[in-house]
Amino acid sequence: MPDHAHTPHAPFQRKEDRRLVTGHGLYTTDRTFAGELHAVFLRSDRAHADIVSLKTDAAKAMPGVHGVFTAADSTAAGMVKVMCMLALKGTDGEPPRVPARSAFADGRVRFVGETVAMVVADSVAAGLDALEAIEVEYRDLPHVVDAGRALDAGAPVIHDTAPGNLCWVGEAGDRAAVDSAMAAAATVVELSVESTRVIPSPMEPRCCAATYDAANDHYHLYSVTQGVNAMRMQVSFAAGIPESKLTIHAQDVGGSFGNRSPHYPEHCAVMLAAKTLGRPVRWAGTRSECLASDYHGRSNQIAGKLAIDKDGHFTAIQLDWVADMGAFITPAGIASHTRNPVVLLSGVYRIPAMHGRWRAVFTNTSPIAPYRGAGRPDVNYMIERLVDEAAARLGMDPADLRRRNAIGLDQFPYKTPTGTTYEATDVPGSLEKAVLLADWKGFPARRAEAKAKGKLRGIGMATFIENTGAGVFPKDQVDIEVDAKGVVHAFTVAHAQGQGHETTFTQVIADAMGIDTANVLLHEGSPDHVLIGNHTGGSRSLVGAGSVCKLAGLKLVEVAKSAAAAMFDTEPSQVDYVAGTLTDRVSGKSTTLAELARRPEGLKTQAEATIGSTFPTGCHIAEVEIDPLTGTTEILSYVAVDDCGHAVDHTIVEGQVHGGVLQGVGQVFCEKAIYDEETGQLMTGSFMDYTMPRAGMLKHIVIDENCIPSKINSLGAKGVGESGCTGSISAMSNAMADALRPLGVPPMDMPFTSSRVWHAIAAAGGLK
């Protein structure tokens, strides 16, 4: 393994680390406001019910209470909308059905955890006391928590505006071509999988605070976020106010994974209270209320078919996909589980005929939003499970079947039958690197050794391709300016939640300008720099904002040269720029960035670019060992070979892969949000039942790169934030299937908890 030396500046230290390891970060819940009040929420304790009456008078009269808010207030204030970023008409000619959602349940609750009322009080304790004085009378309605069942005839209808609970239906590809390929195929493999519902659970519980400037009719919202622009757009839409009336503030964000990009009802609620009461209002969610009311991730039920000819070539793929939306729409919920799978329907393979149908469905559960990968891990899971089941059916080495079908380096740019054009990448090369690192060939001997000890070993491979986020806004802008001391300041919309932008983006600028990174500072989401640009998400920040930082650095040098030329009374072409110093080649006079910045007009510029999707790829291999007596699994090794394009900092890239892989491992082995079918209650409502991955689950991971720089951005970056998740869910699941297949265990779904694995082994007749 190459030990990537990250930079010449040892020891490694991210710019953000100093404040974060000393406790001087500024997370949203760390902010206090003069005269602040505290909000607490009454949430629905049932899955589906009409609100017959809601009495708040007693609560309003409690000591320390300043206000109690319900749908009567939020609906009257016009806070009734949810943004939906997919406007595309479906195959039934209809765009997505987007039910209204007031900041508080209006007349009916539709999932456990939904906001019903809010008390605003002097303290959290006083607020909680008052919550108990609110009287709600419900009339229970039948509920449905499973998306497949929500489509059944006679299922309870959750929104009158969405008959049959259907939110949207769409198709992609060529059904006739697929039908004929299936008919002509030597082998057709069919498999149904569920990419389980998980709860993203960043370590910083969801929180927000609002102030209202009455003189200017302007709101300030302090919130966890992935980028202030998207948040401002969404919240102003939901609140029914112009974007110009809202400023979003955020500094440090304690993790996100997609979950902090959407707007939430609590945003409108605290804004409403701040305006009504004329005081700052804070809300800090508890973990339990976050587990119930944070938007959840994944929850896709997919049936797949893969057609293969007699030579082992894939000839067609077909998916029928049911995307659980939960009880309401979230801004990117539909798009991430419909558009991304369409873009990636081919996986890394040459498949001439493709078709899929996507149905987005309402259920009495917390709404679904993007979660690390946002549909990409889900479609990859379906495809890669099909490929491994096909290999088993054909008696082929899964690596060989992938070699036979993977798109080769000489075939790019590759246009898939659903219209995506993939950028050049070398999946076969990554596969060969991975099989060497994992000692794929030596596996049969290791399996035999394990068997002799009474253990079940399995090895699983996944290849994958991802489309990084194309962005919601048309371009990414970066402001860059130099202060009087010569320090370069860059301003972006992209907002880190752990990705280390302050380190990598400033490195990019320092490299572009030939200066020390110590003299470059990054500011994300500054209210004083209103820019067009995208939030951080979809593995796109280095690709987008990061590459524009390079352009900004280069452009700033040109601006500085012009300024110096004017000072020297010469042409810019006569000015040499070296490491922050500008010299007139003729006169020998020189100046510095700092000196130019001290001129009245300062030294600054703005750069921008429009950047679409790149396509990171990779090959991951997992090796597992199951103790059949207890059903427990140990992950023995994990190999990740990624093409993330140009890497600015290998240490940070590896960190992203580590974290992504373990989140995938969490979904595969322990995490699942479970709603009880009968009661509609969330059974995983605290960390006592929602099993977060712990230290030691992933002990051995080997990371390597096989990178081909992207051609669509100035850095050549492709992105790496989600690859760990996308690779590990498929690789781990294939390894588990491989371990269990010799016993005759039929394909099983996540999560591979010890209880479920033991039952599967027992049902297959136990060890043979």
Partner 1 sequence: MYEFEYVRPKSVAEAAGFLAANGEARLMSGGMTLLPTMKQRLAQASHLVHVGPLGELKSITREGDMLVIGSAATHDQVQGSEVVGAAIPALARLARGIGDPQVRYMGTIGGSIANNDPAADYPAGVLGLGATVVTHLRQIAADDYFQGLFTTALGEGEIVTAVRFPVPRRAGYVKFAHPATGYAMSGVFVADTGSGVRVAVTGAGNGVFRWAEAEAALAKSMSPKALDGLALDASHFSEDIHATREYRAQLCRVMAARAVNELLG
Partner 2 sequence: MSRIELTLNGKAVSADVEDRTLLVNFLRDAQQLTGTHVGCDTTQCGACTVLVDGRALKSCTLLAVQVNGAKITTIEGMANGEALHPVQQAFSECHGLQCGYCTPGMVMAVTDLLRRNPKPTEEQILHGLEGNICRCTGYVNIVKSVKRASELMAAG
Q: How far is the CB of 347 from partner 1 (least distance, A)?
A: 32
28 makes contact with partner 2 (CB under 8 A) = no
Note whether 244 binds partner 1 by CB under 8 A: no
354: phi > 0 → left, psi -120 to 50 → alpha, else beta; which?
A: beta
Q: Which helix (H) or strand (E) holds 443?
A: helix 443-452
- Residue 14 interacting with partner 2 (CB under 8 A): yes
Within 277-296, which residues bind partner 2 (CB under 8 A)? 284, 286-288
Question: Is residue 763 involved in binding partner 1 (CB under 8 A)?
Answer: no
Per-residue x/- track, 675-694, partner 2 (CB under 8 A): -----------xxx---xxx
List 196, 684, 714, 726, residue binding partner 1 (CB under 8 A):
684
Examine residue 69 and tell whether it contacts partner 2 (CB under 8 A).
no
CA distance 325 to 327: 6
Query: Which of 9, 17, 400, 532 lies at the binding interface for partner 2 (CB under 8 A)?
Result: 17
Binding-site size for partner 1 (CB under 8 A) equals 22
Nearer to partner 2, 158 or 652 (CB): 652
Signed CA dihedral, 288, 290, 292, 296: sign only = negative
DSSP string of 401-436, one letter each residue = HHHHHBPPGGG-SEE-TTS-EEPP--HHHHHHHHHH
From residue 765, how far is each of 270, 393, 734, 745, 758 by CA, in Å? 57, 21, 21, 9, 11
By CB under 8 A, name the one of 2, 3, 8, 11 that touches partner 2: 11
Binds partner 2 (CB under 8 A): choice among 2, 8, 23, 242: 23
Identify which range of 510-518, 561-569, 589-597, 749-757 contacts partner 1 by CB under 8 A.
Answer: 749-757
Beta strand pairing status for 414-415 and 246-249? Answer: unpaired
Stretch that binds partner 2, among 40-48, 128-136, 401-409, 646-654 (CB under 8 A): 646-654
Task: For partner 1, give the closer residue by CB, 136 or 360.
Answer: 136
Q: What is the residue type of 242? A: P
Binding residue for partner 1, selected from 642, 690, 709, 722, defined by CB under 8 A: 690
* Residues ≥6 apart with Cβ < 8 Å to 558: 572
Q: Which is nearer to partner 1, 288 or 420 (CB)?
A: 288
The verdict on 265 binding partner 2 (CB under 8 A) reads: no
Is the CB of residue 265 less than 8 Å from the CB of residue 69? Answer: no
The smaller minimum CB distance to partner 1, of residues 217 and 689, is found at: 689
| C-beta closer to partner 1: residue 309 or 627 | 627
* Residue 698 in the binding site for partner 2 (CB under 8 A): yes
If you search the block for the tokens 């939901």, which residue do you land on? 238
Strand 108-109, strand 187-198: pairing: unpaired
| Shortest Cβ 620–partner 2 spacing (Å) | 13
How far is 395 from 404, CA to CA, in rounded Å?
Answer: 14
Shorter beta-carbon distance to partner 1: residue 180 or 632 = 632
- Smallest gap from Cβ 676 to partner 1, in A, equals 9
Find, among 564, 575, 557, the residue nearest to 515 by Cα.
557
**Token pair belonging to 756:** 């479920």
Smallest distance, partner 2 to C-beta of residue 683, A: 15
| Site mask for partner 2 (CB under 8 A), range 238-257, x = bound | --------------xxxxxx
DSSP string, 291-336: HHHS-BEEEEEEEEEEEE-TTS-EEEEEEEEEEEEETS--TTHHHH
**Contact, 355 vs 313, CB < 8 A?**
no
Among 583, 691, 743, 748, interactor with partner 1 by CB under 8 A: 691
- Measured CA to CA, the distance from residue 70 to residue 136 in angstroms comes to 11
User: Measuring CA to CA, which residue among 196, 20, 21, 201 is closest to residue 693?
Assistant: 201
Question: In the complex with partner 1, which residue's Cβ is closer, 1 or 688?
Answer: 688
**Tokens, residue 531:** 């820019």
* Binders of partner 1 in range 702-741 (CB under 8 A): none
654 contributes a contact to partner 2 by CB under 8 A: yes
Does 752 bind partner 1 (CB under 8 A)? Our answer is no
Distance CA 581, CA 648 (A): 25
Q: Of the candidates 67, 202, 331, 544, which one interacts with partner 2 according to CB under 8 A?
A: 202
**Nearest distance from C-beta of residue 105 to partner 1, angstroms:** 22
CA–CA separation, 328 and 361 (whole Å) = 10
Q: Are strands 314-326 and 353-362 parallel, antiparallel or unpaired?
A: parallel
Interaction mask 104-133, partner 2, x per CB under 8 A: ---------------------x--------
Element (H, E) at 149: helix 147-150
Q: CB under 5 to 8 A by kind: which of partner 2, partner 1, none does 252 bind?
A: partner 2
Residue from the set 5, 9, 12, 679 that interacts with partner 2 by CB under 8 A: 12
Helix (H, G, I), strand (E, B) or coil at 249: strand
Contact set for partner 1, span 601-640 (CB under 8 A): 629-631
Cβ at position 649, least distance to partner 2 in Å: 9
Cα gap 150→370, rounded to integer Å: 21
Name, in order, each residue with C-beta under 8 angstroms of 348's C-beta and a sequence gap of 6 or more. 402, 406, 407, 427, 463, 464, 465, 617
Residues that bind partner 1 (CB under 8 A): 125, 128, 288, 629-631, 670, 674, 683-684, 687-692, 753-755, 758-759, 762
- Point out which residues bind partner 2 (CB under 8 A): 11-14, 16-18, 20-25, 27, 29-30, 32, 125, 201-205, 252-257, 284, 286-288, 497-500, 651-652, 654-655, 658-663, 686-688, 692-699, 701, 724
